[in-house]
Structure 1
Amino acid sequence: MKDHDNLRTLFNTGRRRRALVAGAGALALTGALSVTAFLSGSASAAPAHATSKSPAAAVSLSGWNLTLPVDSSGCQCGSATEISPATVKSPWLVRNSDGSLTFWAPTKGAHTPHSLHPRTELVSTADFTAGSGTHTLTGTFVMQKLPSANDIIIGQIHGGGSSSAIPLLMLHYRNNGELVVVTRKNPTSGSTSATVLTGVPMNAAFSYTITQSGMKMTVTATYGGKHGSAVVPVPSSFRGMDVRFQAGDYQQTNANNSSTDGGRLTVTALSQS
Protein backbone atom coordinates (compact mmCIF):
# COMPACT_ATOMS: atom_id res chain seq x y z
CA MET A 1 0.00 0.00 0.00
CA LYS A 2 2.78 2.35 0.83
CA ASP A 3 4.39 1.80 -2.56
CA HIS A 4 1.02 2.23 -4.27
CA ASP A 5 0.43 5.57 -2.47
CA ASN A 6 3.88 6.80 -3.51
CA LEU A 7 3.15 5.97 -7.15
CA ARG A 8 -0.18 7.81 -6.94
CA THR A 9 1.54 10.89 -5.47
CA LEU A 10 4.16 10.90 -8.25
CA PHE A 11 1.43 10.54 -10.89
CA ASN A 12 -0.61 13.50 -9.53
CA THR A 13 2.49 15.67 -9.19
CA GLY A 14 3.44 15.01 -12.82
CA ARG A 15 -0.09 15.81 -13.98
CA ARG A 16 -0.05 19.16 -12.12
CA ARG A 17 3.32 20.03 -13.67
CA ARG A 18 2.03 19.25 -17.18
CA ALA A 19 -1.00 21.45 -16.59
CA LEU A 20 1.19 24.34 -15.43
CA VAL A 21 3.45 24.01 -18.48
CA ALA A 22 0.44 23.86 -20.80
CA GLY A 23 -1.04 26.96 -19.16
CA ALA A 24 2.19 28.89 -19.49
CA GLY A 25 2.42 27.87 -23.13
CA ALA A 26 -1.12 29.08 -23.76
CA LEU A 27 -0.33 32.41 -22.13
CA ALA A 28 2.84 32.76 -24.17
CA LEU A 29 0.94 31.91 -27.36
CA THR A 30 -1.81 34.41 -26.49
CA GLY A 31 0.83 37.12 -25.85
CA ALA A 32 2.56 36.31 -29.13
CA LEU A 33 -0.74 36.53 -31.01
CA SER A 34 -1.53 39.84 -29.33
CA VAL A 35 1.84 41.33 -30.34
CA THR A 36 1.46 39.95 -33.87
CA ALA A 37 -2.03 41.41 -34.12
CA PHE A 38 -0.74 44.82 -32.96
CA LEU A 39 2.11 44.83 -35.45
CA SER A 40 -0.05 43.63 -38.31
CA GLY A 41 -2.68 46.33 -37.74
CA SER A 42 -5.65 44.10 -36.86
CA ALA A 43 -8.85 45.50 -35.41
CA SER A 44 -7.38 45.34 -31.91
CA ALA A 45 -4.19 47.22 -32.93
CA ALA A 46 -3.59 50.96 -32.64
CA PRO A 47 -4.89 52.93 -35.67
CA ALA A 48 -2.33 53.17 -38.48
CA HIS A 49 -2.60 56.97 -38.57
CA ALA A 50 -1.35 57.20 -35.01
CA THR A 51 2.22 56.45 -36.06
CA SER A 52 2.39 56.79 -39.85
CA LYS A 53 3.80 59.84 -41.63
CA SER A 54 2.72 61.23 -44.97
CA PRO A 55 5.57 61.73 -47.46
CA ALA A 56 6.60 65.32 -48.06
CA ALA A 57 5.34 66.91 -51.26
CA ALA A 58 8.01 67.39 -53.90
CA VAL A 59 9.47 70.89 -54.07
CA SER A 60 8.34 72.34 -57.39
CA LEU A 61 10.75 74.03 -59.78
CA SER A 62 7.89 75.55 -61.77
CA GLY A 63 8.21 79.32 -61.99
CA TRP A 64 11.97 79.36 -61.44
CA ASN A 65 15.18 79.65 -63.43
CA LEU A 66 18.45 78.33 -61.98
CA THR A 67 21.84 80.02 -61.68
CA LEU A 68 24.73 77.52 -61.53
CA PRO A 69 28.38 77.79 -60.40
CA VAL A 70 29.57 76.74 -63.87
CA ASP A 71 29.83 78.47 -67.22
CA SER A 72 27.94 77.44 -70.36
CA SER A 73 30.46 74.68 -71.09
CA GLY A 74 30.24 73.22 -67.59
CA CYS A 75 33.55 74.65 -66.34
CA GLN A 76 33.75 75.82 -62.72
CA CYS A 77 35.18 79.09 -64.02
CA GLY A 78 34.21 82.23 -65.87
CA SER A 79 30.65 83.57 -65.93
CA ALA A 80 27.81 81.69 -64.26
CA THR A 81 25.17 80.21 -66.52
CA GLU A 82 21.41 80.31 -65.97
CA ILE A 83 19.15 77.40 -66.90
CA SER A 84 15.66 78.37 -68.04
CA PRO A 85 13.45 76.80 -66.85
CA ALA A 86 15.09 75.39 -63.73
CA THR A 87 15.77 71.67 -63.61
CA VAL A 88 17.78 69.37 -61.37
CA LYS A 89 21.44 69.45 -62.30
CA SER A 90 23.72 67.12 -60.35
CA PRO A 91 25.83 67.73 -58.33
CA TRP A 92 24.69 71.36 -57.94
CA LEU A 93 20.96 70.68 -57.52
CA VAL A 94 19.78 67.17 -56.65
CA ARG A 95 16.26 65.80 -56.14
CA ASN A 96 16.04 63.52 -53.08
CA SER A 97 13.74 60.51 -52.68
CA ASP A 98 11.37 62.48 -50.42
CA GLY A 99 10.95 65.24 -53.02
CA SER A 100 13.26 67.75 -51.31
CA LEU A 101 16.09 69.52 -53.15
CA THR A 102 19.73 69.65 -52.07
CA PHE A 103 21.79 72.64 -53.24
CA TRP A 104 25.60 72.55 -53.43
CA ALA A 105 27.49 75.78 -54.17
CA PRO A 106 31.28 75.30 -54.12
CA THR A 107 33.61 78.25 -53.79
CA LYS A 108 35.45 76.90 -56.82
CA GLY A 109 33.03 78.01 -59.49
CA ALA A 110 31.73 80.50 -61.98
CA HIS A 111 30.02 83.64 -60.71
CA THR A 112 27.81 86.40 -62.07
CA PRO A 113 29.44 89.60 -63.42
CA HIS A 114 28.51 91.70 -60.37
CA SER A 115 29.42 89.16 -57.65
CA LEU A 116 32.56 87.22 -56.65
CA HIS A 117 30.54 84.46 -55.00
CA PRO A 118 29.59 81.27 -56.89
CA ARG A 119 26.03 80.21 -56.21
CA THR A 120 23.36 77.59 -56.90
CA GLU A 121 20.24 79.73 -56.70
CA LEU A 122 16.70 79.76 -58.02
CA VAL A 123 15.55 82.95 -59.75
CA SER A 124 11.84 83.65 -60.02
CA THR A 125 10.34 84.10 -63.46
CA ALA A 126 7.54 86.25 -61.97
CA ASP A 127 8.82 89.80 -61.53
CA PHE A 128 6.82 92.37 -59.60
CA THR A 129 6.98 96.08 -58.83
CA ALA A 130 8.72 97.17 -55.64
CA GLY A 131 6.33 99.01 -53.34
CA SER A 132 3.20 97.70 -55.06
CA GLY A 133 0.86 94.83 -54.19
CA THR A 134 1.54 91.91 -51.84
CA HIS A 135 4.14 89.29 -52.74
CA THR A 136 5.39 86.41 -50.56
CA LEU A 137 8.24 83.91 -50.58
CA THR A 138 8.15 81.01 -48.11
CA GLY A 139 10.75 78.27 -47.60
CA THR A 140 11.79 75.50 -45.24
CA PHE A 141 15.54 74.88 -45.13
CA VAL A 142 18.09 72.59 -43.48
CA MET A 143 21.65 73.98 -43.40
CA GLN A 144 24.23 71.19 -43.83
CA LYS A 145 27.55 72.88 -44.59
CA LEU A 146 28.74 76.48 -44.44
CA PRO A 147 31.49 77.94 -46.63
CA SER A 148 34.61 79.37 -45.02
CA ALA A 149 32.92 82.79 -44.83
CA ASN A 150 30.26 81.13 -42.60
CA ASP A 151 27.54 82.97 -44.48
CA ILE A 152 24.88 81.97 -47.05
CA ILE A 153 22.12 84.13 -48.49
CA ILE A 154 19.04 81.91 -48.60
CA GLY A 155 16.36 84.32 -49.83
CA GLN A 156 16.25 87.64 -51.66
CA ILE A 157 14.14 90.35 -53.18
CA HIS A 158 16.43 91.21 -56.06
CA GLY A 159 16.33 93.61 -58.95
CA GLY A 160 15.11 92.23 -62.26
CA GLY A 161 15.29 93.39 -65.85
CA SER A 162 17.65 96.35 -66.24
CA SER A 163 18.13 96.36 -62.43
CA SER A 164 19.31 92.73 -62.23
CA ALA A 165 22.60 93.72 -60.56
CA ILE A 166 20.86 95.37 -57.58
CA PRO A 167 19.62 93.50 -54.49
CA LEU A 168 16.91 95.10 -52.38
CA LEU A 169 16.65 92.59 -49.51
CA MET A 170 18.89 89.63 -48.56
CA LEU A 171 18.22 87.04 -45.84
CA HIS A 172 21.47 85.57 -44.47
CA TYR A 173 22.12 82.42 -42.41
CA ARG A 174 25.35 82.99 -40.48
CA ASN A 175 27.76 80.79 -38.51
CA ASN A 176 26.30 81.30 -35.05
CA GLY A 177 22.83 80.28 -36.17
CA GLU A 178 21.62 83.82 -36.84
CA LEU A 179 19.09 84.74 -39.50
CA VAL A 180 19.83 88.34 -40.46
CA VAL A 181 18.03 90.47 -43.04
CA VAL A 182 20.07 93.08 -44.91
CA THR A 183 18.37 95.78 -46.99
CA ARG A 184 19.86 98.34 -49.32
CA LYS A 185 19.26 102.00 -48.49
CA ASN A 186 19.30 102.88 -52.18
CA PRO A 187 20.21 101.15 -55.45
CA THR A 188 23.81 102.38 -55.47
CA SER A 189 25.13 102.16 -51.90
CA GLY A 190 24.52 101.70 -48.18
CA SER A 191 22.69 98.99 -46.26
CA THR A 192 20.99 98.31 -42.94
CA SER A 193 20.60 95.00 -41.11
CA ALA A 194 18.26 93.47 -38.53
CA THR A 195 18.35 90.13 -36.71
CA VAL A 196 15.28 88.01 -37.36
CA LEU A 197 16.08 84.92 -35.24
CA THR A 198 19.04 83.42 -33.34
CA GLY A 199 19.93 79.92 -32.16
CA VAL A 200 19.03 78.11 -35.38
CA PRO A 201 21.39 75.09 -35.49
CA MET A 202 22.87 73.29 -38.43
CA ASN A 203 21.10 70.13 -39.65
CA ALA A 204 17.73 71.24 -38.28
CA ALA A 205 14.69 72.39 -40.26
CA PHE A 206 13.58 76.01 -40.00
CA SER A 207 11.16 78.11 -42.03
CA TYR A 208 11.12 81.70 -43.22
CA THR A 209 8.71 84.01 -45.00
CA ILE A 210 9.57 87.20 -46.88
CA THR A 211 6.58 89.42 -47.67
CA GLN A 212 6.49 92.74 -49.45
CA SER A 213 3.16 94.48 -48.96
CA GLY A 214 3.04 97.98 -50.36
CA MET A 215 5.99 99.93 -48.98
CA LYS A 216 6.63 97.48 -46.14
CA MET A 217 8.73 94.29 -46.11
CA THR A 218 8.28 91.72 -43.34
CA VAL A 219 10.64 88.81 -42.71
CA THR A 220 9.62 86.08 -40.24
CA ALA A 221 11.40 82.89 -39.20
CA THR A 222 10.50 79.85 -37.11
CA TYR A 223 12.64 77.12 -35.57
CA GLY A 224 10.91 74.68 -33.22
CA GLY A 225 8.98 76.81 -30.76
CA LYS A 226 11.04 79.93 -31.49
CA HIS A 227 9.73 82.74 -33.67
CA GLY A 228 11.25 86.02 -34.82
CA SER A 229 10.49 88.83 -37.23
CA ALA A 230 11.77 92.08 -38.65
CA VAL A 231 9.85 94.80 -40.48
CA VAL A 232 11.67 97.18 -42.81
CA PRO A 233 10.42 99.81 -45.25
CA VAL A 234 10.88 99.66 -48.99
CA PRO A 235 13.31 102.56 -49.60
CA SER A 236 11.65 105.25 -51.66
CA SER A 237 14.48 105.04 -54.21
CA PHE A 238 13.41 101.45 -55.00
CA ARG A 239 9.74 102.25 -55.48
CA GLY A 240 8.54 101.24 -58.94
CA MET A 241 11.65 99.12 -59.64
CA ASP A 242 11.28 95.74 -61.34
CA VAL A 243 12.17 93.08 -58.72
CA ARG A 244 11.85 89.31 -58.16
CA PHE A 245 12.41 86.63 -55.55
CA GLN A 246 15.55 84.51 -55.48
CA ALA A 247 16.15 81.55 -53.15
CA GLY A 248 18.70 78.82 -52.58
CA ASP A 249 22.42 78.64 -51.85
CA TYR A 250 24.13 81.97 -52.54
CA GLN A 251 27.26 81.25 -50.47
CA GLN A 252 29.33 84.31 -49.50
CA THR A 253 32.95 83.17 -49.93
CA ASN A 254 34.89 84.61 -52.86
CA ALA A 255 35.60 82.23 -55.70
CA ASN A 256 38.76 80.18 -55.12
CA ASN A 257 40.30 76.84 -56.08
CA SER A 258 39.30 74.82 -53.01
CA SER A 259 37.90 71.37 -53.77
CA THR A 260 35.99 71.19 -50.47
CA ASP A 261 34.94 74.74 -49.54
CA GLY A 262 31.34 75.71 -50.17
CA GLY A 263 27.77 75.72 -48.90
CA ARG A 264 25.29 72.86 -48.87
CA LEU A 265 21.63 72.96 -47.83
CA THR A 266 18.38 71.10 -48.40
CA VAL A 267 15.05 72.74 -49.17
CA THR A 268 11.98 70.76 -48.13
CA ALA A 269 9.35 73.36 -49.07
CA LEU A 270 9.41 76.47 -51.27
CA SER A 271 6.63 78.62 -52.68
CA GLN A 272 6.06 82.12 -54.01
CA SER A 273 2.93 84.13 -54.59
Structure 2
Amino acid sequence: MIDLATWNLTIPVGVPATVIDTPLLVGGYQDDYFQSRDGRIFFWAPANGSTTSNSVYPRSELRETYADGTLRNWSYTAATDVLSATARITQVPASGMLAFSQIHSKQGTSPPLMLGYQYVPQTGYGNVVIAFRGHPADADSLKIVLSSKVRLDQDFSYEIHLAKNGTLSIGLVEPGGAVKTWSRSLNKAWASHALYFKAGVYTLDNSGNETNAGAATFSQLKVEHR
Protein backbone atom coordinates (compact mmCIF):
# COMPACT_ATOMS: atom_id res chain seq x y z
CA MET A 1 0.00 0.00 0.00
CA ILE A 2 1.40 3.40 -1.01
CA ASP A 3 0.94 6.12 1.60
CA LEU A 4 -0.46 9.23 -0.09
CA ALA A 5 -0.48 11.27 3.13
CA THR A 6 2.81 12.99 2.24
CA TRP A 7 1.92 14.16 -1.27
CA ASN A 8 -0.29 16.47 -3.25
CA LEU A 9 -1.12 15.88 -6.91
CA THR A 10 -0.93 18.08 -10.00
CA ILE A 11 -3.18 17.08 -12.90
CA PRO A 12 -3.20 18.61 -16.43
CA VAL A 13 -6.59 20.33 -16.14
CA GLY A 14 -7.33 24.05 -15.76
CA VAL A 15 -5.10 27.08 -16.26
CA PRO A 16 -2.70 26.77 -14.59
CA ALA A 17 -2.84 23.03 -13.93
CA THR A 18 -4.95 21.92 -10.96
CA VAL A 19 -3.46 20.84 -7.62
CA ILE A 20 -5.30 18.21 -5.57
CA ASP A 21 -4.49 18.82 -1.91
CA THR A 22 -3.22 16.04 0.36
CA PRO A 23 -6.40 15.50 2.45
CA LEU A 24 -8.51 15.11 -0.70
CA LEU A 25 -5.96 12.74 -2.21
CA VAL A 26 -5.91 10.60 0.95
CA GLY A 27 -9.71 10.58 0.96
CA GLY A 28 -9.76 8.46 -2.20
CA TYR A 29 -9.49 10.99 -5.03
CA GLN A 30 -9.64 9.41 -8.51
CA ASP A 31 -9.92 10.81 -12.03
CA ASP A 32 -8.79 10.08 -15.58
CA TYR A 33 -5.26 11.27 -14.76
CA PHE A 34 -4.69 9.53 -11.43
CA GLN A 35 -6.03 6.32 -9.93
CA SER A 36 -5.17 4.36 -6.80
CA ARG A 37 -6.31 0.75 -6.62
CA ASP A 38 -5.07 -2.69 -5.61
CA GLY A 39 -2.00 -1.20 -3.93
CA ARG A 40 -0.86 0.61 -7.09
CA ILE A 41 -1.11 4.18 -8.31
CA PHE A 42 -1.58 5.06 -11.97
CA PHE A 43 -0.60 8.32 -13.70
CA TRP A 44 -1.63 9.54 -17.16
CA ALA A 45 -0.75 12.91 -18.76
CA PRO A 46 -1.83 13.61 -22.37
CA ALA A 47 0.31 15.92 -24.48
CA ASN A 48 -2.58 18.36 -24.93
CA GLY A 49 -3.13 18.72 -21.17
CA SER A 50 -2.69 22.02 -19.38
CA THR A 51 0.57 22.91 -17.67
CA THR A 52 1.86 24.56 -14.53
CA SER A 53 2.80 28.23 -14.81
CA ASN A 54 6.52 27.52 -15.27
CA SER A 55 6.33 24.64 -17.74
CA VAL A 56 5.35 23.96 -21.35
CA TYR A 57 4.67 20.24 -20.72
CA PRO A 58 1.76 18.53 -18.93
CA ARG A 59 2.06 16.40 -15.83
CA SER A 60 0.18 14.04 -13.54
CA GLU A 61 2.65 14.18 -10.70
CA LEU A 62 2.93 13.98 -6.93
CA ARG A 63 4.73 16.66 -4.93
CA GLU A 64 6.00 16.20 -1.39
CA THR A 65 3.88 17.66 1.47
CA TYR A 66 3.07 17.26 5.13
CA ALA A 67 -0.11 15.40 6.11
CA ASP A 68 -2.10 18.64 6.48
CA GLY A 69 -1.24 19.59 2.90
CA THR A 70 1.47 22.12 3.73
CA LEU A 71 4.28 21.95 1.21
CA ARG A 72 7.33 20.10 2.49
CA ASN A 73 10.69 21.59 1.52
CA TRP A 74 14.06 20.62 2.95
CA SER A 75 17.75 21.40 2.91
CA TYR A 76 19.89 18.43 1.96
CA THR A 77 22.28 19.30 4.81
CA ALA A 78 19.60 18.62 7.44
CA ALA A 79 19.07 14.88 6.83
CA THR A 80 19.68 11.99 4.48
CA ASP A 81 16.86 12.16 1.94
CA VAL A 82 15.68 8.99 0.20
CA LEU A 83 13.01 8.16 -2.36
CA SER A 84 12.54 4.50 -3.22
CA ALA A 85 10.06 3.13 -5.74
CA THR A 86 9.02 0.33 -8.04
CA ALA A 87 7.44 1.53 -11.26
CA ARG A 88 6.66 0.62 -14.83
CA ILE A 89 6.29 2.95 -17.80
CA THR A 90 3.15 1.95 -19.67
CA GLN A 91 2.97 4.59 -22.41
CA VAL A 92 5.30 7.17 -23.94
CA PRO A 93 4.34 10.14 -26.14
CA ALA A 94 5.50 10.63 -29.73
CA SER A 95 8.74 12.17 -28.47
CA GLY A 96 9.41 8.91 -26.62
CA MET A 97 10.30 10.85 -23.45
CA LEU A 98 8.83 11.38 -20.01
CA ALA A 99 10.16 12.06 -16.52
CA PHE A 100 9.05 9.91 -13.58
CA SER A 101 10.94 11.30 -10.55
CA GLN A 102 12.62 14.56 -9.57
CA ILE A 103 14.40 16.42 -6.83
CA HIS A 104 13.14 19.94 -7.46
CA SER A 105 13.98 23.34 -6.01
CA LYS A 106 11.47 25.87 -4.71
CA GLN A 107 13.82 28.65 -5.84
CA GLY A 108 13.77 27.89 -9.55
CA THR A 109 12.52 25.93 -12.54
CA SER A 110 15.73 23.95 -13.10
CA PRO A 111 15.92 20.92 -10.77
CA PRO A 112 19.15 19.31 -9.54
CA LEU A 113 17.83 15.89 -10.56
CA MET A 114 15.34 14.44 -13.02
CA LEU A 115 14.95 10.73 -13.79
CA GLY A 116 13.50 10.10 -17.22
CA TYR A 117 12.57 7.33 -19.63
CA GLN A 118 13.48 7.52 -23.32
CA TYR A 119 11.94 4.83 -25.53
CA VAL A 120 14.21 3.61 -28.36
CA PRO A 121 12.07 2.11 -31.17
CA GLN A 122 15.06 0.53 -32.90
CA THR A 123 15.77 -1.73 -29.91
CA GLY A 124 12.33 -2.07 -28.34
CA TYR A 125 13.86 -1.03 -25.03
CA GLY A 126 13.92 2.25 -23.18
CA ASN A 127 16.77 4.14 -21.56
CA VAL A 128 16.48 5.28 -17.96
CA VAL A 129 18.22 8.64 -18.08
CA ILE A 130 19.62 10.82 -15.29
CA ALA A 131 19.53 14.58 -15.84
CA PHE A 132 21.86 16.06 -13.23
CA ARG A 133 22.48 19.75 -12.60
CA GLY A 134 25.47 19.97 -10.28
CA HIS A 135 25.25 23.73 -9.67
CA PRO A 136 22.05 25.85 -9.58
CA ALA A 137 23.56 28.23 -12.14
CA ASP A 138 24.30 25.50 -14.70
CA ALA A 139 22.45 26.29 -17.92
CA ASP A 140 22.15 22.66 -18.92
CA SER A 141 21.99 19.40 -17.05
CA LEU A 142 24.39 16.50 -17.51
CA LYS A 143 22.64 13.53 -19.17
CA ILE A 144 23.64 9.99 -18.16
CA VAL A 145 22.07 6.74 -19.41
CA LEU A 146 21.76 4.61 -16.27
CA SER A 147 20.11 1.64 -18.00
CA SER A 148 19.23 0.72 -21.59
CA LYS A 149 17.35 -2.49 -20.72
CA VAL A 150 13.89 -1.44 -19.53
CA ARG A 151 10.98 -2.25 -21.85
CA LEU A 152 7.55 -0.69 -21.65
CA ASP A 153 5.26 -2.49 -19.15
CA GLN A 154 8.19 -3.92 -17.17
CA ASP A 155 8.69 -3.24 -13.47
CA PHE A 156 11.97 -1.71 -12.36
CA SER A 157 13.01 -0.53 -8.90
CA TYR A 158 15.10 2.50 -8.06
CA GLU A 159 16.35 4.59 -5.17
CA ILE A 160 17.38 8.23 -5.01
CA HIS A 161 19.72 8.81 -2.05
CA LEU A 162 20.95 12.30 -1.16
CA ALA A 163 23.36 12.33 1.79
CA LYS A 164 23.90 15.26 4.15
CA ASN A 165 27.32 15.88 2.59
CA GLY A 166 25.72 16.42 -0.83
CA THR A 167 26.53 13.02 -2.35
CA LEU A 168 23.71 12.04 -4.69
CA SER A 169 23.45 8.33 -5.49
CA ILE A 170 21.03 6.55 -7.81
CA GLY A 171 20.51 2.80 -7.79
CA LEU A 172 18.32 0.90 -10.22
CA VAL A 173 17.36 -2.78 -10.48
CA GLU A 174 16.57 -3.72 -14.09
CA PRO A 175 13.73 -6.15 -14.91
CA GLY A 176 16.27 -8.96 -15.30
CA GLY A 177 17.78 -8.26 -11.86
CA ALA A 178 20.96 -6.45 -12.91
CA VAL A 179 21.87 -3.52 -10.65
CA LYS A 180 23.00 -0.18 -12.06
CA THR A 181 24.44 2.59 -9.88
CA TRP A 182 25.63 6.17 -10.31
CA SER A 183 26.91 8.80 -7.88
CA ARG A 184 27.96 12.45 -8.01
CA SER A 185 28.25 15.39 -5.57
CA LEU A 186 26.03 18.43 -5.56
CA ASN A 187 27.73 21.81 -5.48
CA LYS A 188 27.39 23.43 -2.03
CA ALA A 189 25.38 26.23 -3.66
CA TRP A 190 22.38 23.86 -3.54
CA ALA A 191 22.51 23.94 0.30
CA SER A 192 20.61 27.24 0.35
CA HIS A 193 17.80 25.82 -1.79
CA ALA A 194 14.53 24.42 -0.45
CA LEU A 195 14.27 21.02 -2.15
CA TYR A 196 11.47 18.47 -2.50
CA PHE A 197 10.75 15.14 -4.18
CA LYS A 198 8.32 14.60 -7.07
CA ALA A 199 7.11 11.38 -8.67
CA GLY A 200 4.63 10.44 -11.38
CA VAL A 201 4.45 11.32 -15.06
CA TYR A 202 5.81 14.52 -16.61
CA THR A 203 5.12 14.10 -20.34
CA LEU A 204 7.92 15.72 -22.34
CA ASP A 205 5.75 16.40 -25.38
CA ASN A 206 3.01 18.93 -26.06
CA SER A 207 1.91 18.05 -29.59
CA GLY A 208 -1.19 16.26 -30.82
CA ASN A 209 -4.28 15.18 -28.90
CA GLU A 210 -5.04 12.98 -25.89
CA THR A 211 -3.93 9.80 -27.67
CA ASN A 212 -0.38 11.17 -27.45
CA ALA A 213 0.43 10.72 -23.77
CA GLY A 214 2.71 9.43 -21.07
CA ALA A 215 1.61 6.93 -18.44
CA ALA A 216 3.16 4.97 -15.57
CA THR A 217 2.14 2.72 -12.69
CA PHE A 218 3.87 2.63 -9.28
CA SER A 219 3.56 -0.38 -7.00
CA GLN A 220 5.91 1.07 -4.38
CA LEU A 221 6.70 4.67 -3.47
CA LYS A 222 8.27 5.80 -0.24
CA VAL A 223 10.10 8.90 0.97
CA GLU A 224 12.31 9.08 4.06
CA HIS A 225 14.23 11.91 5.72
CA ARG A 226 16.62 10.18 8.12
Name stretches of at least 5 consecutive residues in structure 2 with no aligned partner.
66-71, 121-125
Flag as ranges the 4+ runs of structure 1 deviating above 2 A: 130-133, 185-188
> Of 123, 140, 162, which residue of structure 2 is paired with 1:212?
162
Query: For the residues of structure 1 that align with 2:48 and 2:56, how far apart are their CA atoms?
Result: 11
**Residue 192 of structure 2 aligns to a residue in which SS?**
coil
Q: What corresponds to 2:113 in structure 1?
A: 169
Give 2:5's match in structure 1, choosing from 62, 68, 82: 62
Kindly provide the amino acid, as one letter, of the partner of residue 180 in structure 2. Answer: G
**Residue 82 of structure 1: aligned partner:** 19
Q: Aligned Cα RMSD in Å?
A: 1.5
Q: Residue 103 of structure 1 aligns with which residue?
A: 43
Report the number of matched residues.
206
Whether the 8 Å contact between 2:134 and 2:185 is mirrored in structure 1 is: no
User: In structure 2, which of residues 133, 143, 151 is the aligned counterpart of residue 184 of structure 1?
Assistant: 133
Q: SS where residue 30 of structure 2 aligns?
A: coil
TM-score (norm: length of structure 1): 0.72
Q: CA-to-partner distance for each residue in 1:155-189, whole Å, 9 max, x for gaps?
A: 110012xx153311000111131111111243242
Distance 1:131 1:178, change over 3 A: farther
Show CA shifts across 1:20-49 (max 9, x none): xxxxxxxxxxxxxxxxxxxxxxxxxxxxxx
DSSP-derived class of the 1:128 partner: coil
Higher relative contact order (CA 8 A, sep 6+): 2
Q: Does 1:152 align with 2:98?
A: yes
Distance in 2 of aligned mates of 1:143 and 1:106: 14
Q: How many Å apart are 1:257 and its aligned residue?
A: 4.7
* Between structures 1 and 2, the one with greater strand share: 2
Could you tell me which residue of structure 2 aligns to residue 93 of structure 1? 34
Q: Percent identity?
A: 28
User: What residue is the counterpart of 2:68 in the other structure?
Assistant: none
Contact in 2 for aligned 1:156/1:167 (Cα 8 Å): yes
**Per-residue Cα deviation, 1:216-258 (whole angstroms, up to 9, x for no partner):** 100111023211011021123212211000000011112x451
Larger Rg: 1
More helix by share: 1
| d(CA) in 1 for partners of 2:177, 2:208 | 40
